[in-house]
Amino acid sequence: MKNKVSIITVVFNDAANIRETIESALGQTYQEKEYIIIDGGSTDGTVEIINEYVDRIDYFSSESDNGIFDAMNKGAQHAAGEWINFLNSGDTFASPRALEQVIELGKADEADVIYADSIQISGQDSLAISTPDDASQLALYPIYRHGSSLVRTRLQLEYPFDTAQSKALGFALDYHMIYTLFRSGCRFCKANTTLQTYRLEGTSNYPYRSLLYNYRITRRGGSLLATTLFFLKGTVRQMLKSSTAYRWMFAFLEEYMVNDILPHIPFWALRRPLLRVARLRIGQKSFIMKRCYIMNANRVVIGNYTHLNRGCMLDARGGIEIGSNVSLSYDCRLITGSHSVRSPHFSASYLPIRIGDYAWLGVGATVLQGVTVGEGAVVCAGAVVTRDVEPYAIVGGVPARKIGERPRGVDYHCVWDAPFT
């Protein structure tokens, strides 16, 4: 079977979460898959729960092991698929179509490793974690969550988790394996979708220890100067993040400067570099007019020749990517944040929005969290978009639905250079 995926779940005494993980794996719409569970000899009822699904599990064992990475190596030995994905207990797939989308978008025929975005759960809140397209940054740090990736089975078996390094590298053995693949010349490809949801309350929720482990890994194979500087920079940044001064400085740059100072500067040539100070990434010849409101400018990426009209609101807490030659008309709103109406705790969630090249959003259009507006699509004035829009589709209404289709082959730039705007 082409591109068959072996989903491997490792668990030990996690009766509280194992059912949700199993149902997430079995509920994937992707047909070319198998499911493997490696239990470490649980005694809390985990095995009894697994046995409820045993007729739908391709391989299951319950025996003592030497830790999570030893168990993951055991699981890989039983994989019959072309790809391996680790969905460990407590984690879930981001949607029923997550695997299907990763295979579809990840250029499987050209890749050795396909990686994607993740959703982090912290307490009652969730946050989308975006990953860089540029895999060369793996030379310095793990750019993606290991569970949100597919690795070719032959490579996983050739480069297993090196449990002999457990004492020195702790919970970073997964990055050690990824780094080894990277240094071996393997091809990494980003799938522009979200694969897994994970809980922050795990063994890797120790930022200083993570920095140290990552440094021990990268200094062996990369530039000692570059890796040392990156380690020191990361340590200082982490120290600052825990201080009150950093909180105020971040708020000044990301909120006050962006939304209270810049709107009064009449020259784009001055506003643009200041937005870059706030870590907003914007391509050549793109233009943001005055009086736009931007939350978390550091999570906004804008391509080339894109124009944002006055009054636009970008809630980028979950991440916003706007392509090239995109036009956002007056008073458009991109909202990545929301709350669960079913949660007794009013839980917050933050999911990314992606706007494809040549898309056009009409006056007062609203795009809600987790939506991708395809290349060349048109969102009519006043529409509220709650689900993905196909490339070159025209949608309108509340909620937005397809009402037409735009001719393909568009070729233009959204250029705006009027003074004092």
Reported as a single tens digit per residue, the pLDDT across 252-274 is 888 999 999 999 999 999 999 99
Contact 73, 66 (CB under 8 A): no
The confidence band for 242, taking pLDDT boundaries of 50, 70 and 90, is confident
Quote the CA–CA distance of 178 and 188 in Å, as a whole number: 10
Closest CA to 366 of 384, 386, 390, 388: 384
Pick the range with the lowest mean pLDDT from 243-247, 319-323, 375-379, 382-386.
243-247
Which distant-in-sequence residues (6+ apart) come within 8 Å of 259 by Cβ?
A: 293, 294
Contact 161, 155 (CB under 8 A): no
Q: Which residues make up the CATH 2.160.10.10 domain(s) of the chain?
A: 267-405
- Say yes or no to pLDDT of 248 above 80: yes
Q: What is the pLDDT of residue 239?
A: 83
| 69 residue type, one letter | F
H, E, C per residue of 281-293: EECCCCEECCCCE
Mean pLDDT along residues 394-398: 98
Instruction: Say what percent of the chain tops pLDDT 70.
Output: 99
Q: Cα 347 to the chain's mean position, in Å?
A: 20
Contact 359, 395 (CB under 8 A): no
Structure-token pair, residue 85: 């994905």
Q: Cα 247 to the chain's mean position, in Å?
A: 24
Entry pTM: 0.79
- Say yes or no to pLDDT of 202 above 60: no
| 74 residue type, one letter | K
Please count the other Cβ atoms lying within 10 Å of the Cβ belonging to residue 80. 12
Cα Rg, the chain, nearest whole Å: 23
Pick the range with the lowest mean pLDDT from 100-104, 317-321, 417-421.
417-421
Contact 159, 184 (CB under 8 A): yes
Q: What is the pLDDT of residue 82?
A: 97
For residue 161, what is the DSSP state?
-
Contact 11, 45 (CB under 8 A): no
Q: What is the pLDDT of residue 275?
A: 94
| 140 residue type, one letter | L
Superfamily classification of domain 267-405: Hexapeptide repeat proteins (2.160.10.10)
Contact 88, 14 (CB under 8 A): no
- Say yes or no to pLDDT of 32 above 80: yes
Instruction: Reduce the DSSP state of residue 139 to 3 states and report it.
Output: helix
Mean pLDDT along residues 403-421: 92
Mean pLDDT along residues 314-324: 94
Reported as a single tens digit per residue, the pLDDT across 130-175 is 888 899 999 999 999 999 999 999 999 999 999 999 999 999 999 9
Quote the CA–CA distance of 38 and 9 in Å, as a whole number: 6
The secondary structure of 76-106 as a DSSP string is HHT--SSEEEE--TT-EESSTTHHHHHHHHT
Please count the other Cβ atoms lying within 10 Å of the Cβ belonging to residue 312. 22
- Say yes or no to pLDDT of 204 above 70: no
Q: What are phi and psi of 272, to 5 degrees?
A: -60, -50
Q: Which residues make up the CATH 3.90.550.10 domain(s) of the chain?
A: 5-202
Which of 17-49 are b and which e, b meaning 16 or more Cβ less than 10 Å from the residue's Cβ? bbbebbebbeebebeebbbbbbbbebeeebbeb
Contact 108, 46 (CB under 8 A): no
**CATH fold for domain 5-202:** Spore Coat Polysaccharide Biosynthesis Protein SpsA; Chain A (3.90.550)
Contact 318, 126 (CB under 8 A): no
Quote the CA–CA distance of 353 and 169 in Å, as a whole number: 35
Mean pLDDT along residues 285-289: 97
Active site residues: 339
